[in-house]
């Protein structure tokens, strides 16, 4: 009578830190890994039959074992390997989705042994491998890239009606936290080089653009990424508009020539789009 239309399960927020030691020079790979499996697990729901239910604890163990064995040069190769393992090992599993995000660590001091590290940013490198018997779809991305334009940002020419109070602006602050996710046309690419190309294209486009709206700049950034990195054929950009309100100083006899703002976290605009070649 009732049917299971869709189901998925897995392990989320498996945290892995791997220290790669090259003599006295160490580097740190700091990951969050999510494993999510689809397949024929319906009898666990309906008949309490766990005989095919790979425990999520086993998924976690597998992540750590693979982290030990893997070079971890790229998070993409790690995600693909994990995804293929689950699909290949457990015949019940029809799709494995592995999501990885990496926090940055860099050398704390420039001279001497490299065994002291600092987390220089909250910006994270991300990827997601979605693996079946037939194929592997790979996305890479970034998140928490917090950027701000203090010039070349306008918003005007929008429709006005009885609910509109926003003034037109030819010079407003434009702040956002970018989340990007791009799909590889060719999955055998040099992922780290592609990431550098995409990121450089995104930030350069943001910096130089004469913005007429968040949408306008988002599109300009996405086009730049598709142009500068031939290995990708699609990019999704999510750019919430984190408002900075101009403070009204007129009650105090002062002007405020676009100088003093109150940043607010909520409400915020939400703008996202997917561009494809």
Which residues have a catalytic role annotated? 11, 56, 243
Q: What are phi and psi of 39, to 5 degrees?
A: 165, -160
Q: Are 99 and 82 in contact (CB under 8 A)?
A: no
Q: Which of residues 37-76 bind a second copy (CB under 8 A)?
A: 41, 44-46, 48-58, 60-62, 64-65, 67-69
The yes or no reply on residue 84 touching a second copy (CB under 8 A) is no
User: Smallest distance, Å, CB 89 to a second copy?
Assistant: 7
Stretch that binds a second copy, among 76-84, 132-140, 157-165, 190-198 (CB under 8 A): 157-165
User: Smallest distance, Å, CB 84 to a second copy?
Assistant: 15
Closest CA to 203 of 123, 265, 269, 268: 123
Q: How far apart are CA 149 and CA 173, in angstroms?
A: 6
Closest CA to 36 of 68, 9, 54: 9
* Structural element, H or E, at residue 245: strand 244-246
**Joined tokens for residue 202:** 């995104």
Q: How many residues bind a second copy (CB under 8 A)?
A: 131
Q: How far apart are CA 172 and CA 155, in angstroms?
A: 8
The yes or no reply on residue 115 touching a second copy (CB under 8 A) is yes
Q: How far apart are CA 105 and CA 178, in angstroms?
A: 20
The yes or no reply on residue 185 touching a second copy (CB under 8 A) is no
How many Å from the N-terminal Cα to the C-terminal Cα in the chain? 44
The yes or no reply on residue 145 touching a second copy (CB under 8 A) is yes
Nearer to a second copy, 14 or 138 (CB): 14
Q: Which of 22, 170, 188, 266 binds a second copy (CB under 8 A)?
A: 266
The yes or no reply on residue 169 touching a second copy (CB under 8 A) is no
The yes or no reply on residue 81 touching a second copy (CB under 8 A) is no
Q: Which of residues 17-36 bind a second copy (CB under 8 A)?
A: 17-21, 24, 26, 28, 30, 34, 36
Stretch that binds a second copy, among 76-84, 135-143, 188-196, 212-220 (CB under 8 A): 212-220
Helix (H, G, I), strand (E, B) or coil at 111: coil
């Amino acid at each position: 009578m009732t049917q299971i239309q869709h189901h998925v399960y897995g392990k989320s927020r498996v945290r892995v830190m791997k220290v790669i030691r090259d003599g006295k020079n160490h580097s740190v790979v700091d990951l969050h890994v999510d494993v999510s499996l689809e397949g024929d697990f319906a009898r666990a729901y309906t008949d309490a039959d766990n005989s095919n239910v790979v425990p999520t604890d086993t998924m976690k163990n597998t992540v750590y074992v693979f982290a030990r064995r893997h070079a971890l040069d790229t998070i993409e190769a790690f995600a693909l390997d994990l995804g293929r393992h689950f699909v290949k090992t457990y015949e019940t599993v029809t799709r494995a989705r592995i999501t990885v995000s990496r926090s940055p660590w860099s050398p704390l001091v420039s001279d001497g042994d490299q065994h002291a590290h600092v987390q220089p940013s909250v910006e994270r490198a991300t990827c997601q491998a979605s693996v079946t018997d037939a194929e592997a779809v790979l996305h890479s991305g970034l998140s928490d890239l917090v950027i701000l334009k203090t010039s070349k940002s306008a918003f005007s020419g929008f429709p006005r009606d009885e609910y509109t109070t926003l003034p037109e602006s030819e010079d407003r602050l434009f702040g956002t936290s970018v989340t990007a996710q791009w799909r590889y046309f060719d999955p055998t690419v040099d992922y780290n080089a592609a990431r550098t190309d995409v990121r450089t294209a995104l930030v350069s486009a943001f910096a130089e653009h004469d913005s007429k709206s968040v949408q306008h700049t988002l599109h300009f950034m996405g086009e730049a990424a598709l142009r500068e990195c031939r290995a990708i054929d699609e990019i999704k950009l999510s750019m919430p508009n984190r408002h900075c309100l101009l403070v009204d100083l007129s009650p105090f006899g002062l002007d405020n020539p676009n100088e003093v703002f109150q940043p607010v976290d909520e409400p915020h605009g939400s703008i996202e789009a997917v561009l494809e070649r």
